[in-house]
Amino acid sequence: MDTAGIASEKYVSFTTYKKDGTAKALPVWIADLGDGTVGFTTSSSSYKVKRANNNNKVLLQPCDSKGKLTPGSEEVSGTATVHTGADFERIAAIVKKKYGVQYTAMAIVGKAAKLIGKGSGTDTAISITLD
């Protein structure tokens, strides 16, 4: 599967690796970033970010919103890069364009959680260059 193929999915299972090598998969939204990479936004306090910073090798595979893999779908490997600041803003705009009101609603929930001390809100992006 290529960048356009994986980016056409609504959800993908994003697999990162703990320090002991254990794989951890979570469903994420995904968007074509227009530069040969795909990406999504998340919270800087999330384990996805921590694991990607420790080991940037990741796997992507189409799934549903609960992380159940799409039968017959292909798993693709890639290299993750964590972004903040202007790079985050650029990626967030692309993801927001694809997901619209859903993205806005999740950003509001993230801001509310940050206000009550539960996480850092949506302030980080992860881009993936497929192998």
Q: How many angstroms separate the CA atoms of 44 and 42, rounded?
A: 7
Tokens representing residue 116 in the block: 């009550």
Query: What residue segments make up the domains of the chain, in order of their start?
Result: 3-130
Lowest mean pLDDT among 5-19, 29-43, 101-115: 101-115
Candidates 3.30.390.30, 3.90.79.10, 2.30.110.10, 3.40.50.300; CATH matching 3-130: 2.30.110.10
Q: Is 121 a residue whose pLDDT tops 70?
A: no
Q: How many angstroms separate the CA atoms of 76 and 42, rounded?
A: 21
Look at residue 4 in the predicted model and tell me its pLDDT: 79
Model-level pTM greater than 0.75?
yes
